[in-house]
Structure 1
Amino acid sequence: MRILIVEDEPLLLEQLNSSLTKQGYAVDCAADGEEGLFQGTEYPYDLAIIDLGLPKIDGLDVIKKLREQGKNYPILILTARDQWQEKVIGLDSGADDYLTKPFEMDELLARVKALLRRSVGMASASQHFGPLSLDLNAQSVAVDGTEIELTAYEYKVIEYLLTHPHQVISKTVLTEHIYDQDYDRDSNVIEVFVRRLRKKLDPNGTIEPIETLRGRGYRINPAIANG
């Protein structure tokens, strides 16, 4: 999952970047509203964290413009403004949730996880797909109850596929959502990850969890996609 942070306080921006990266997210950062609006418009994100008091373009205007341009990923507001009216205005502008500064990082991470779950239609952190089970909190995948050892990027690939179980996901889209913008991306590496995942999740070839649609991409086998 790829997250955009728009925050003008350097220390907080670094803390957010570090905490989210440690949780396995691909993270892009912007220090003002103008850059945040550009990145939020130009790149595909699964969630954005936006401070309201930004230089160049106010956070509320960034949110409004993103929504006007059809960007529908969840947005979490960070604000030092503790009046309830400000929070209502932020939510009315298109945000999905807010946190008032100062806040505990654990609470922010919990809200991020909840927003991401809701955005893909998951009511809880755990979901079953036939013999496969995904636990977003533990960042783990199990087959028939046995957890499978995966590398960080193998997990990111299968997580994205499982959280979009009825969609055909191209290699380009997978690449964009598992790497941040500074990473030297090679979409051909996705083929390697998928090949490894098939061997680890289905060594006997009985589940066939990931289908390849030639020229289009990958999807979770419809036979297990509905759980």
Structure 2
Amino acid sequence: MSLSLLLVEDQRDLAESIWDFFERRGHRIDHAADGALGLRLAIDGGFDVIILDLGLPRLDGLELCRRLREAGRGTPVLMLTARDTLDDKLRGFAEGADDYLVKPFAMRELEARVLNLQRRQSGGDDRVLSHGPLSLRPGQRSCQREGVELALSPIQTRLLERLLQTAPGVVRSEDLLQAGWGEMAPGSDALHSQIRALRALIDRPFAQPLLHTVHGLGYRLQTTID
């Protein structure tokens, strides 16, 4: 399958290597060397996956990702960075990234992660899932609560889909990791970060919390507390 990719990377040698690698495999790839141009291209859309560096001129990658999600664009984002601390990774996920790869990396791993994101992005359907005042159309990545449209990232959509499928039952943390990231799931800290972001979207603006932590097990959607 041929993919349309956007690479936002200011290191010329690395950008050329990534470009050549994916072109040889039959994919189409566009490139931006700074964050401002990258954001314009990303918002225009049409890409299957965005490969995004963090340390960019004009607009850094975290801000780019945040603005992209605020604009309602749900294209999967894979962040590339030399920042390898846990806090850096969690901040990337909190701003809407779907995966995170630390430099230096093997091109084959980059390819595997890009393909994994694309496969999981295209795996939705047109069912309507609901629990209480919350509803989700996974295939359209359309989520509403009390008539308010909520902008979810692809990862958040998959996590919420799994929670809604089981509600009001408990979804174990390992099952949520599988639902969100598949075989290339990161550690539990990434899940915790995404759950915090999801809770901020579906609960914080409203009077009644729906997303609850079940300590030692996982998470559940529940309209009432036992």
Within a 5 Å distance, the mapping from 1:25-64 to structure 2 comes to 25-64=27-66
1:103 equivalent in structure 2: 105
The alignment of Structure 1 onto Structure 2 pairs a total of residues equal to 123
3-state DSSP class of the match of 1:90?
helix
> Offset at 1:44?
1.3
TM-score normalized by structure 1?
Answer: 0.53
Could you say what the CA RMSD is over the residues aligned between the two structures, in angstroms?
A: 1.3
Percent identity over the alignment is: 46
Matching of residue 20 in structure 1 with residue 22 in structure 2: yes
> Offset at 1:59?
0.3
Report the Cα distance in structure 1 between the residues aligned to 2:28 and 2:76, rounded to whole angstroms: 16
RCO greater where, 1 or 2, for CA within 8 Å and sep 6 or more?
1
Unaligned runs of 5+ in 1: 123-163, 165-227
Report the Cα distance in structure 1 between the residues aligned to 2:104 and 2:10, rounded to whole angstroms: 15
After superposition, give the CA deviation of every residue in 1:103-140 in whole Å (9 maximum; x if it has no partner): 01110001011111100118xxxxxxxxxxxxxxxxxx
Report the Cα distance in structure 1 between the residues aligned to 2:95 and 2:27, rounded to whole angstroms: 26
After superposition, give the CA deviation of every residue in 1:167-210 in whole Å (9 maximum; x if it has no partner): xxxxxxxxxxxxxxxxxxxxxxxxxxxxxxxxxxxxxxxxxxxx
Report the Cα distance in structure 2 between the residues aligned to 1:71 and 1:43, rounded to whole angstroms: 8
Report the Cα distance in structure 2 between the residues aligned to 1:62 and 1:73, rounded to whole angstroms: 13
Within a 5 Å distance, the mapping from 1:154-165 to structure 2 comes to none
> Offset at 1:22?
1.4
> Offset at 1:41?
1.0
TM-score normalized by structure 2?
Answer: 0.53
Which protein shows a greater Rg?
1
> Offset at 1:20?
1.1
Unaligned runs of 5+ in 2: 125-138, 140-226
3-state DSSP class of the match of 2:55?
coil
Runs of 4+ aligned structure 1 residues displaced above 4 Å come to none
> Offset at 1:25?
1.2
After superposition, give the CA deviation of every residue in 1:64-110 in whole Å (9 maximum; x if it has no partner): 01111111011000010011110010011000001000001110001
